[in-house]
Amino acid sequence: MTNKQNTQNLSLDEQVKLATEALDDLKAKEITVMTVEHLTEVAERIVIANATSKRHVKALADKLGAAAKEAGLMPLGREGDKDSDWTLVDLGAVVVHIMTPQAREFYDLEGLWSSPEALQALAVQKA
């Protein structure tokens, strides 16, 4: 179950649209939306986008946070500092990962979230 208290103002589709439009407005590249509600209780969708630099990562995260607040959706959290090549913005039902291309290739979140074997290995490690 995702955090419903943060999702009452906007539907899931509206949250995804808000995130992808905010990222697109500042020229994020390769924006991908993944459905993960069948894999985790943490989120229903994951949005992954490329930034051109660490500075761009920060600008995109700032823009997304401002757009969410303007729509009445308070981000639940943000991980990654101003010099990070990967920042996560948690909108509740939608978790957004903004990464440099190098970080995206290295961490391969698309591969991780689409591979049942990788998810099973993570579950074993956490136990």
Among the listed residues 127, 110, 93, 126, the one whose alpha carbon sits nearest the alpha carbon of residue 10:
93
User: Which fold, 4-126?
Assistant: Beta Polymerase; domain 2 (3.30.460)
Query: What SS3 state is found at 74?
Result: coil
The percent helix, strand, coil of the chain (3-state, each to 5) is 45, 20, 35
| 80-104 residue pLDDT tens | 988 899 999 999 999 999 999 999 9
CA atoms within 13 A on the CB side of 100: 14
Cα 100 from Cα 8, distance rounded (Å): 31
| 27-78 residue pLDDT tens | 999 999 999 888 888 899 999 999 999 999 999 999 999 999 999 999 999 9
Q: Tell me, what's the pLDDT at 117?
A: 57
| Cα angle 95, 97, 101; round to 5 | 160
**Would you say residue 3 has pLDDT above 80?**
no
Cα 127 from Cα 125, distance rounded (Å): 6
Which is it for strands 86-90 and 29-35: parallel, antiparallel or unpaired? Answer: unpaired
